[in-house]
Structure 1
Amino acid sequence: MSKIVARNGAIDLDKSAIDYETVQDPGHGNTLAAWMTVFIMLLGAVVATVGNIFGSWMIFWVGIVIALIVGPGVGLVLRAMGKGKPKDSGRSK
């Protein structure tokens, strides 16, 4: 690959040498299953934080359970329902 010098003097790679056929978009989990999993885990973290601030260990552990069990569980169920990324998508052939 040839090198290109940017305006600030940094060396950059020649963008025309990239083979875009072999580079695939990984998708980054932009699905309903992924978003709901992250949202529920974030909600659990907030509940645990509130429980910790107010000194209620019951609320704290409820938040931990939400973040570590309910969130990923909902994500797995939604993925099984077809709302997640297919297992074979994004792989190189």
Structure 2
Amino acid sequence: MSQAVRTGAPDLDRDAIDYEKIKDPGHGNTPAAWTGVFLMLLGGVILAVGFVMVVDVIIYAGIAVFVAGPIIGLIMRAAGKGKPRS
């Protein structure tokens, strides 16, 4: 069995890559993003518990927390806690 050595794409022009632009892609590592994601995860857990227990109040509370996550994240971004728009 022969093994091929991969040296990269032959048509890749490494001089055309803007390394300063891709140095920090900013994958949402901001307080606004973390808060929004945490609230959505918490809402999903509450919602799952509500489904298992078959309690409507808990289900609606989970939906409310889940929907509040992105809204609060956007509010925090507008307040300066998120990544600025480019």
Same fold (TM over 0.5): yes
- 1:79 aligned to 2:77? yes
Greater strand fraction, Structure 1 or Structure 2: 1
Label 1:48 to 1:10 Cα distance change in 2 as closer, same or farther (>3 A).
farther
Counterpart of 2:4?
9
Aligned-residue RMSD, C-alpha: 2.4
In structure 1, distance between residues paired with 2:66 and 2:15: 40
Structure 2 gaps, min length 5:
none
Deviations 1:40-73 (A, max 9, x none): 01000000000001010220111011102x1112
Provide runs of 4+ in structure 1 moved above 6 Å. none
Q: Which has the higher helix share?
A: 2
TM-score (normalised: structure 2) = 0.78
Unaligned runs of 5+ in 1: 1-7, 89-93
Aligned counterparts of 1:85 and 1:61: Cα–Cα separation in 2? 31
Count of residues in correspondence between the two structures? 81
Same amino acid, percent of matched pairs: 41
